[in-house]
Amino acid sequence: MHAYFDNAATTPLDPEVLEAMLPFLTQHYGNPSSLHGPGRQVRSAIENARKTVAHLINAAPAEVSFTSGGTEADNYAAFGSIRTLKLRHAITSKLEHHAVLHPLQALEKAGDIELSYVKHDEFGQLDLEHLDELLATHTRSFVSLMHANNEIGNLNDIQAIGDLCARHDAVFHTDTVQTMGHYRHDVQALKNQFLVGSAHKFHGPKGVGFLYCRSGLQVSPLIHGGSQERNVRSGTENVYGIVGLAKALEIACRDLTAHQQHVQGLKDRFIARLQAEIDDVRFNGLSAEADKSLYTVLSVSLPPSPLNEMLLFNLDISKVAASGGSACTSGAQTGSHVLEALGCDPGRGTVRFSMSKMNTVDEVDYAVAQLAKLYKPVAA
């Protein structure tokens, strides 16, 4: 058996999505900026995809722009709004994805902004009173706080954060890469200016994402050189990727309730089996609390052991694919900035199991059994 539990890094492509994409890989090859028939046919597909995405998040089609993924969309929101609106203060947390932290830190280093970090407790819960204080003591701020943490799964109350930002006239960007397609998002209810999605997190293709930018907010583009995406993002569009993204989000929203019930059941079983099989197993952040964490992510803290150095390697040999944190830093020599910010014991091992609708109960049991084999001899 091979058990794939790294869905927070990327999900398998849904067969329905591939079917929707194939005609734009084989038959419909026109450039969407061309005025002839083949070009207009492809342009129509892009605009239909835009309408689909907009409908699913309750936005206007003109508020949706397609990008190469979540990282580009996050960068666009940060650089574009801060530079265009001449904002001098930004607020984030030390638990954010590097796609948010690195742009803001670059702007701080360049002297463009003062950067503040919202306090959090040992479980990664943000201090919204501190956020309120930061907003109150500065002029108009740019605020970037994610919906769900990609490493520990903590859910932030983006409705409450948005309400605070609106009260202080702040520009609110929320990275919803991990929750898009897994929760329903209504941008009319949220008080956010920016929201981000990436297709490969909800069974779509890699290399394509989207940015929601609230109507009336005009910001400078990151990429110059053409008039594509209404001058928001230059470059010939990734047509089959855009078609695949829209189809994947449509399927995810269509099947969301059944998907959530299935995956939450897998996560609950993971927690119960790990607690039964491994002594002193713990869970990072709020990962094991169903009402406070993303149902697709479980961050497991394992007992101190020499095995921890080769933990992911040994799981891979046993045909269990998992992550030690974020896949975006899996090749780095440094540890997880999220776990470090939480003050987690560096002597303990960490595995992030992330699940999707394509996983099974048998795979959960197999993964736990393989992990338990590594630790039972040490506990004996």
Q: Are 372 and 278 in contact (CB under 8 A)?
A: yes
- On the 0-12 / 13-18 / 19+ scale of CB atoms within 10 A, 379 is exposed
Instruction: Phi first, then psi: give them for residue 364, nearest 5 degrees.
Output: -60, -50
* Per-residue model confidence (pLDDT) at position 346: 87
* Per-residue model confidence (pLDDT) at position 305: 87
Residue whose structure tokens are 């929707």: 20
* Per-residue model confidence (pLDDT) at position 329: 47
CATH level 3 topology of 3-12+255-379: Aspartate Aminotransferase, domain 1 (3.90.1150)
* Per-residue model confidence (pLDDT) at position 225: 86
Q: Are 83 and 75 in contact (CB under 8 A)?
A: no
Q: Which is the catalytic residue, given 165, 213, 253, 328? A: 328
Q: Which CATH architecture has domain 15-254?
A: 3-Layer(aba) Sandwich (3.40)
328 is catalytic: yes
Bridge partners, residue 378, by sequence = none
Instruction: Name residues of the chain where pLDDT drops below 50.
Output: 326-327, 329-333, 378-380
Could you give the CA distance from residue 4 to residue 239 in angstroms, rounded to a whole number? 29
Q: Are 84 and 231 in contact (CB under 8 A)?
A: no
Which tokens sit at 139? Answer: 């002029």
* Per-residue model confidence (pLDDT) at position 334: 62
* Per-residue model confidence (pLDDT) at position 358: 98
Condensed to tens digits (0 to 9), the pLDDT of residues 268-288 reads: 999 999 999 999 999 999 999
* Per-residue model confidence (pLDDT) at position 103: 97
* Per-residue model confidence (pLDDT) at position 379: 39
Q: Where are the domains of the chain?
A: 3-12+255-379, 15-254
Entry pTM: 0.94
Q: Are 301 and 284 in contact (CB under 8 A)?
A: yes
* Per-residue model confidence (pLDDT) at position 328: 54
* Per-residue model confidence (pLDDT) at position 330: 46
DSSP annotation of 161? H
Could you give the CA distance from residue 26 to residue 131 in angstroms, rounded to a whole number? 51
